Structure 1
Amino acid sequence: MISIPITEVKLFMNHLLCRSTFDAFCVPELSLSTFASFHMDGHILKDYYTKEEYETLYKDRTPIARWKQLRPVCFELIRGNHTPLSFSIVLQLSSRAVESFLSETDTSFTVSDINGLFLNLRYKDSRLNAVTGTSLNIFSMDKSLEHAWDQKIQKFILSLES
């Protein structure tokens, strides 16, 4: 786990709210404080859909809302004359993206070993930080996955700032 201060906040927020840069990430939860506090649980409510709709939409993917679905809602809550007081957005790599990530890293972990690879965005007092996180389904002293994830996110954030 590392914390990366975002130096180009305006540019990063443009990527987050106006571009598709983060759209593939799942969003298990987020909190946003503007004129009021908003909390969202991104876990999909199965009962909202018919059985057929749910199976079509979520058969092969994690039943968590994608940033693509929540981005317009968050944009509406954030836009205006005032910057937010704070926000916390938990972004999680999708199951398919975890498979892809594992194939490009030198680690012995499998998809079933991994509960989640996370990018936590925290904004408060005009400062924005990105904090990486990993969660395993197994106990391991091996930190290769964590280090690989940290490096990937560092490169990803650097690419956004250039």
Structure 2
Amino acid sequence: MIALQIKNTRQFMSALLASEVFDEFLLESAELQIANTYTIDGHVNREFFGDDSEKPEYELSKWSELKPVCYELIKGKNTPVSFKFIMCVAPPRKDELLPDDLRQIVSSLVFILKFKEGHITITTGAALSGFTLDKSYKKIWDDYMKRFLDSVGISYEEL
């Protein structure tokens, strides 16, 4: 897995909070340290929806649904002390990226986005549901994340 340091924090924050650039991802969790500390669990409470046919399609909330909440917490004249978002690709995208033999073993492809002391880092990772000697999923995910950032014009430095 890789760690990437974002070169332009302002541009990245605009892409994250004021555009649709990251809307394809799901939010597993968020922790924001501003005047108070806020923690958001991105796991969907299915009981909330009852028998409604409008139940979300994934176990995790879409970033597009929680982005306005995070934006409202972050915006203001003071810079956050820190924040951390754990995000992952939606299952259909994961299945597009991985070969058939890895789809069941790799349960999610994630990235951890951290802001602290004015710097943003992205660290890629994966959750596995079993053991495999095939580590190609790491390179596939790392390469995808770099291509994704390149495609939306976000510059970074590999740490």
Aligned counterparts of 1:28 and 1:12: Cα–Cα separation in 2: 20
Aligned pair partner of 1:57 in 40, 48, 55:
55
Aligned counterparts of 2:9 and 2:60: Cα–Cα separation in 1: 27
Q: CA deviation at 1:134?
A: 1.0
Q: TM-score when scaled to structure 1?
A: 0.89
Aligned twin of 1:82: 78
Give the gaps of 5 or more residues in structure 1: none
Aligned twin of 1:4: 4
Equivalent runs, 1:142-157 vs 2, <5 Å = 142-157=134-149
Q: CA deviation at 1:37?
A: 0.4
Q: TM-score when scaled to structure 2?
A: 0.90
Residue identity over aligned pairs, in percent, reads: 28
Q: CA deviation at 1:108?
A: 5.1
* Letter aligned with residue 144 of structure 2: K
Name the one with the larger helix percent. Answer: 1
Aligned pair partner of 1:111 in 90, 100, 103:
103
Aligned twin of 2:44: 44
Name the one with the larger strand percent. Answer: 2
Aligned pair partner of 1:98 in 94, 99, 103:
94
**Which is bigger in relative contact order (C-alpha 8 A, separation at least 6)?**
2
Aligned twin of 2:121: 129
Q: CA deviation at 1:111?
A: 2.4
